[in-house]
Amino acid sequence: MDKVAVFGSFVVDLMARSPHLPVPGETVKGSMFKMGPGGKGFNQCVAAKKAGADVTMITKVGNDSFANVLLDTMKELDMSQDYIFVNNSTETGIALITVDESTSQNEIIIVPGACNTITAEEVASVESIISRSEYVLLQLEVNQDANEMVAELANKYNCKVVLNTAPYVPVTDDFLSKCYMVTPNEVEAEAVTGIKVTNFDSAKRAAKFFRNKGVIDIVITLGDRGVFVSTHGREEIIPAYKVNVVDTTGAGDAFNGGLITSLAEGKNLLEAARFANALAALSVQKMGTTPSMPSRKEIETFLSTAEQVN
């Protein structure tokens, strides 16, 4: 059995760093530019792959030079290209990322392109990989009808759907009911539930909202405050790790990739969240998204010496 399938987006990241983020109408002279592979789906898949998961990527690109960024990266990481679809009339997606050098905060515009055009026929063609997977990881960067079809397939084969609710778009109660787990950050949790997540009690209320929709396990990431976990009647906040932050872009993707890897290895959700916190902590110490994902050796070394925030 294949352990993990990631069904989601690939875009090419176009990242610039500047002294501060521009306000409307302002032009800011940047200090550097970098182009590389990205997209929440692909970032999470790479994070899982480098962390040691048996993982398969399912996405769609255009018939253009940006598609080669995906294919070259997958070849370099020894990832299967069997489930990469191509749209001959729509370009590969891109993300415009601006990073503030003084705060490491970022602003991002996503143009999903081809990965927003996944068809019912293409979803049907991945039924075999879904049927063999223990988990399928979804995000909201592809066309939602495709996500809903994948969730339906996963439920048919008792494959657990883990939904990272980013970037936020409205989803139906029926779709949520097909998700075994959701992993929003505090902003996305508020967007879905209407509950502003600021502390343990408000996180518990948000978790109750998701559970009432049929979700079994809930994980809410809280940035440098750590992560709230609700599973089988147990709820707690697992602290973040103390690190020097360089670039927060992709931290949530690192977390989700680490989480799904640890779960597929048979760890419980609390253990998996600690492992995922380590990936996120390592990723923010480097620039970029996919390139910042740590290796299994780096993760294990970090876990043996890291200090959590109290």
Residues annotated in a binding site for ATP:
185, 221-226, 252-253, 277
Its sign, for the CA torsion 167, 170, 173, 178, is negative
Binding site for K(+): residue ranges?
Answer: 247, 249, 283, 286, 288, 292
Q: Which residues are annotated as a binding site for substrate?
A: 11-13, 39-43, 141, 253
- The residue from 2, 100, 217, 253 that is catalytic is 253
E-strand ranges in 158-244 read: 160-163, 181-182, 217-221, 227-231, 234-238
Query: Which of left, alpha, beta for 194 (phi over 0: left; psi -120 to 50: alpha)?
Result: left
Binding residues: 11-13, 39-43, 141, 185, 221-226, 247, 249, 252-253, 277, 283, 286, 288, 292
CB neighbour list of residue 30: distance below 8 Å, 6 or more residues apart: 16, 17, 18, 98
Using an 8 Å Cβ cutoff, are 222 and 185 in contact?
yes
Which residues have CB under 8 Å from 229's CB, separation 6+? 217, 218, 219, 235, 236, 237, 238, 269, 270, 273
Radius of gyration of the chain (CA): 18
Q: Note if 253 is an active site residue.
A: yes
Say how far apart CA 214 and CA 21 lie, in whole Å. 40
Active site residues: 253
